[in-house]
Structure 1
């Protein structure tokens, strides 16, 4: 097994699944707010939820998930777990591409962008529910 993956058991998969769902629930609570800080929180939760959903999918299908900050490698693993469907990987990429903006930047966070992130997470969670 590659040094950048972690083997996971069913319990770990279920924990990551539950975390993904909770991140989605929190993101949905804040995305329609009129407050910029709430959009930022919703976006950050969407990103974290996407990572958790990817971990859960990969763990359930492959028995391991990616470990570390190399989101391109994590996406390749997700693509393998979901093959031949590449849409989950595209949703994951949309989320992780906005990680820095959602978590650290104030000027780049808009409600429209945040809505797109939450939609990407909703789609990824849907795939996760189908696979687990």
Structure 2
């Protein structure tokens, strides 16, 4: 089963998710979306497959969010997508795609639902939290 992760190596949740995928025995396609952002059509497809409102994929913690006034609820979905494409750091991560579906994997153990072998055993996250997926 092919697995793709839209990954930011600077993000602990993204690193934990990638490590869980690998611990399951799978080697995913890793797309560092800050270097290679998805095309507009692909981003829309991912959002649709996740079944999320566009705004819920918008990362609020990073600087451009406040500077661009994105907390304003009058921005349309198309405008929010435009902002995410212009500033990929605004795309919340990690997004994982597998034959089992597409999910924003926050928290990282959400990825287990997408893995062909979710029984990865004991996993210790970077923050020390232990996940037991036996």
TM-score range, shorter chain: under 0.3
TM-score (norm 2): 0.27
Per residue, is there more strand in 1 or in 2?
2
TM-score (norm 1): 0.28
Structure with bigger gyration radius:
2
